[in-house]
Amino acid sequence: MWKQIEGSRAVAETVAMCRPQVICAYPITPQTHIVEGLGEMVKSGALAGCEFLNVESEFGALSVAIGASAAGARTYTATASQGLLFMAEAVYNAAGLGLPIVMTIGNRAIGAPINIWNDHSDSMSMRDSGWIQLHAESNQEAADLHIQAFRLAEELSCPVMVCMDGFILTHAYDRIDVPLQQQVDAWLAPFEPRQVLDPAAPVSIGAMVGPEAFSEVRYLAHHKQLQALDRIPEISGEFLEAFGRESGGLLRPYRIEGADTIVVALGSVTGTIQEAVDELRADNVAVGSISICSYRPFPLEAVGRALSDAKRVVVIDKSLAPGLGGMLATDVQMALSARRQRVYTVIAGLGGRTITKASLVKLFLQARADALESVTFLDLNWDLVNRQLSREMATRRSGPAAENILKDLGALPSKI
């Protein structure tokens, strides 16, 4: 059913339709509207057969989820940024134990400096925890991916993160087709655990494993991610059949045929990139783009194939790897390890800095002229940076860097 609603609300309604049995969450911007929505649905009885726990920290949240999932309940939680880091120990624990928890990440920058706006540093910090990570391009896809996530997680006994850009998606009102309960019921079977805490058949879960077996257990985790590479496109196909729209999958190409320059990105910036591509293509500039949906497992082969005919690749990376470049870019380069394309890493959108179509058009033209450094920071205010660097050279007690830069910024025209 078509609705004009907030992205968070669409996610809440869709998750509710998946009939979760335990929801636990600790509030953190920008995920709050999702859990508030679900909490209300449980309290009012609209979502029945579900226990909603208000927990004391994110670490508590994922821990409750671990217990609930191990006891055979379909379990859901959500977090972002600092919260994801606070539950880091539990994140690895859940994956290691093979518990099919589904968790929404409202992608938000990690501090210091504290910042509530969007970038990908949070989910990136957990990219090798063993969770599957799916990125939504739009609010429609964010809602749809949760349905796919429960199926994927429970089949493989592997937890899944659905990542959606904080504020840009979570707080935007969009035209969204929210599925009907019957549709979801027909598509998503009840949870049948591979392992469960049940007095009728006692098992011990969470044993210590020493050098004699640890590698093998870890190999199986690696194997699971490889299995996911096959299942993710299949599940996307199954979703298309039942719900009638494209959603999920490993990656989505856009006008890459004959493109000499291909742009790679995760998440909502894809929409703006596609607009920039259209503008350039209208001028016969051969640019295309791919957006990666399955970031973990990273579709090395599919990315390699999609980029194989391009002369150069531009990665729009919302996750800085300080001293190195970009986290997404590093993985993309691995997909191209046998090739001869030039790869340009463009660090953009950190801490919610807007990425405009105009900037992208300019950037892509520079890339095509091979006039870019291998690592670029898009729209960086070099004046601010240089002022701070000179300040630090001039005196030892130069004070907190962030505060100095903000003071400088106050004197300059405001920038969105």
Partner 1 sequence: MVSAAEMLSIAAFLEGRYAQAFPSFGSERMGAPVMAFCRISDRPIRLREPVTEPDALIIQDPTLLHQAGLFEGLQLPGGYVLINSSRSIDELGIGSYVGDHAVTVAATELALRFVGRPLPNSTLLGAFAAMTAELRLESVLAAIRQKFAGKIGEANAAAAQAAYELISRSDTREKIHVEAD
Partner 2 sequence: MPFYQIKFYQTGTFTVGNRLLEDSDRAVQSDVKRSNALNSGHRACQGCGEALGARYAVDAAMRASGGNLVAVNATGCLEVFSTPYPETSWQVPWMHSLFGNAAAVAAGVAAAMKAQGRTNVRVIAQGGDGGTADIGMGCLSGMFERNDDVLYICYDNEAYMNTGVQRSGTTPAGARTATTPSVGSQPGNVFGQGKSVPLIAMAHGIPYVATASVANLHDLEYKVEKAVPIHGARYIHIHVPCPLGWGSEPHDTIKVARMAVESGLFPLFEAEFGEVTERTAIRRRQPAEEYLKLQKRFAHLFRPVRDEERIAAIQGIADRNIRRFELENGGAS
CA–CA distance from 248 to each of 135, 147, 156, 169, 329 (Å)? 8, 10, 17, 16, 21
Contacts of 187 (CB under 8 A, 6+ apart): 147, 151, 238, 239, 242, 243
Contact between 3 and 56 under an 8 Å Cβ cutoff? The reply is no
In degrees and rounded to multiples of 5, residue 162 shows phi and psi of -105, 115
| Residues 288, 84: Cα–Cα separation, whole Å | 33
DSSP H or E stretch at residue 314: strand 312-317
Q: Judged by CB under 8 A, which stretch of 196-204, 283-291, 314-322, 379-387 contacts partner 2?
A: 196-204
- Binding of residue 56 to partner 2 (CB under 8 A): yes
- Binding of residue 153 to partner 2 (CB under 8 A): no
Q: Which does 324 bind (CB under 5 to 8 A by kind): partner 1, partner 2, none?
A: none
Restricting to residues 88-107, name those near partner 2 by CB under 8 A: 89-90, 93, 97
Neighbours of 410 (CB within 10 A): 8
DSSP H or E stretch at residue 147: helix 139-156
Instruction: Provide the binding-site residues for partner 1, judged by CB under 8 A.
Output: 2-4, 6, 117-118, 165, 167-168, 171-175, 268-272, 274-275, 352, 354-357, 410, 413-416
Pairing type for strands 160-165 and 173-177 reads: unpaired
Q: Which does 84 bind (CB under 5 to 8 A by kind): partner 2, partner 1, none?
A: none
In degrees and rounded to multiples of 5, residue 106 shows phi and psi of -85, 85
Q: Which does 408 bind (CB under 5 to 8 A by kind): partner 1, partner 2, none?
A: none
Supply the minimum distance, in Å, between the C-beta of residue 110 and partner 1. 17
109 or 160: whose CB is closer to partner 1? 109
Supply the minimum distance, in Å, between the C-beta of residue 3 and partner 1. 8
- Binding of residue 76 to partner 2 (CB under 8 A): no
9 or 74: whose CB is closer to partner 1? 9
| Residues 371, 389: Cα–Cα separation, whole Å | 26
List 55, 172, 240, 401, residue binding partner 2 (CB under 8 A): 55
- Binding of residue 189 to partner 2 (CB under 8 A): no
Binding site for partner 2 (CB under 8 A): 21-22, 24, 49-51, 53-57, 59-60, 63-73, 75, 89-90, 93, 97, 197-199, 201-210, 213
